């Protein structure tokens, strides 16, 4: 458990690398004397680095011992966050965020298989659920807390704190996390071969649809709530989302071995229902319905990374490392795309269009998951991969 919790902290910091700057845009813009739009490119740079690096970096270090790869990623986390904390130059900071994105992509492609290696096959789903708790923790607690600290003290202190946290995590990993050998050269699978493995493309398609829908709403939650008369409720609703997401990941950890397919379908269906309710509500919205909707959204999304990573690793078999790198790339492309799509919708069709776009994306994802009953999202107890 100590080793798995170290992976939990890794997923927390990896998520914070990608999302914390979004909560500090006014302070960063003022600090560098730039617009908030330019400050927002620090988020884009990290997502871009994570997306483009996952596949080639994972392939390059696939034969390395696993703990060495994890420590390498953490060293880059520490250096880049420390540079961000003291950098006097926007361009240097932009390079630092792109570089930390490279390491973040490598970490994401490693975490799923690392967690699964630590336990017997029958507990792999639960182990991955523990390792992924860091995602909702960072989204619900890390981002609001960093925004509060940035306004209270300094945005640079937030990145300094992240660097210090990473340094402690490096010591933790070195002392508590077991090492595992990488794959020998003759075991390497090419990306094209893994992509052709039955079920892999279906899971990746569902990842794209689900993450696009999630981050369109999450990124623009403030203007959406403002449009329905709940502008002052953002902090409380994000906290509710985070608490429910942690409950959701616990539920997934308990049930994933027997009900992976059902949990994916229920998660997508629940989020689609929330989008439909939000679309019908209009403005001004019923406060209780919005609160219940955000709670249901959190429950449905909390375990989504665990479900999707487990399904993909099971489908890919020996190509799990390469498949996880693909997932990181697809995830981050969807993350970046959600910001673009949401921004375009915001200035053209308006925020009222969000629920209907979400509903369309989620129904497409639900259909793809439903059809993948023979490969990808298989009914019954999941096939155990040793």
- Give the global pTM: 0.80
Q: Are residues 320 and 262 both part of a single domain?
A: yes
> pLDDT for 257-266, tens place per residue?
889 999 999 9
Q: Are residues 66 and 105 both part of a single domain?
A: yes
Distance, CA of 275 to CA of 293 (rounded, Å) = 8
Residues 6+ apart with CB under 8 A from 91: none
Answer with the one of 182, 214, 240 that is the final residue of a domain.
182
Answer with the one of 165, 182, 199 that is the final residue of a domain.
182
Q: Are residues 243 and 277 both part of a single domain?
A: yes
Tokens 């665990």 — which residue? 306
Q: Are residues 8 and 107 both part of a single domain?
A: yes
Q: How many domains does the chain have?
A: 2
Residue 356, domain CATH: 1.20.1250.20
Q: Which domain holds residue 305?
A: 189-386
- Three-state DSSP class for 178? coil
Rounded to the nearest integer, the mean pLDDT of the chain is 87
> pLDDT for 108-136, tens place per residue?
888 878 888 888 877 877 888 788 888 87
In this predicted model, which residue has the larger pLDDT, 195 or 163?
163
In this predicted model, which residue has the larger pLDDT, 350 or 100?
100
User: CA-CA distances (angstroms) from residue 253 to 12, 27, 134, 182, 317?
Assistant: 18, 38, 14, 27, 21
Q: Is the pLDDT of residue 386 over 60?
A: no
SS3 content of the chain, % helix, strand, coil (to 5): 85, 0, 15
Q: Are residues 218 and 117 both part of a single domain?
A: no
């Amino acid at each position: 458990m100590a080793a798995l919790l170290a992976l939990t902290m890794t997923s927390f910091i990896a998520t914070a690398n990608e999302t914390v700057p979004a909560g500090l845009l006014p302070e960063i813009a003022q600090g560098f004397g730039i617009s908030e739009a330019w400050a927002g490119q620090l988020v884009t740079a990290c997502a871009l680095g994570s997306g483009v690096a996952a596949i080639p970096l994972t392939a390059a270090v696939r034969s390395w011992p696993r703990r060495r790869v994890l420590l390498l990623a953490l060293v880059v986390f520490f250096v880049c966050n420390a540079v961000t904390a003291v950098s006097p130059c926007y361009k240097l900071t932009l390079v630092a965020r792109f570089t930390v994105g490279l390491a973040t992509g490598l970490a994401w492609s490693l975490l799923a298989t690392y967690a699964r290696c630590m336990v017997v096959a029958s507990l792999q789903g639960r182990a991955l659920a523990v390792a992924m708790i860091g995602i909702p923790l960072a989204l619900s607690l890390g981002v609001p807390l960093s925004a509060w600290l940035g306004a209270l003290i300094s945005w640079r202190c937030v990145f300094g704190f992240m660097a210090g946290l990473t340094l402690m995590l490096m010591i933790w990993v070195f002392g508590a996390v077991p090492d595992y050998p990488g794959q020998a050269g003759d075991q390497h699978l090419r990306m094209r071969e893994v992509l052709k493995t039955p079920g892999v493309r279906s899971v990746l398609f569902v990842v794209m649809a689900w993450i696009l829908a999630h981050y369109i709403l999450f990124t623009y939650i403030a203007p959406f709530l403002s449009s329905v008369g709940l502008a002052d409720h953002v902090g409380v609703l994000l906290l509710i989302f985070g608490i429910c997401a942690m409950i959701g990941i616990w539920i997934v950890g308990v049930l994933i071995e027997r009900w992976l397919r059902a949990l994916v379908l229920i998660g997508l269906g629940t989020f689609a229902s929330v989008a439909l309710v939000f679309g019908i509500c209009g403005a001004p919205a019923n406060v209780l319905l919005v609160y219940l909707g955000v709670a249901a959204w959190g429950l449905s999304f909390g375990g989504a990374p665990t479900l999707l990573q487990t399904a993909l690793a099971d489908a890919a078999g020996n190509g799990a490392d390469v498949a996880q790198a693909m997932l990181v790339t697809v995830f981050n492309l969807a993350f970046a795309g959600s910001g673009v799509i949401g921004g375009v919708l915001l200035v053209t069709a308006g925020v009222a269009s969000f629920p209907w776009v979400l509903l369309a994306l989620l129904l497409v994802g639900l259909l793809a998951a439903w059809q993948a009953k023979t490969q990808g999202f298989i009914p019954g107890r999941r096939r155990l991969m040793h």
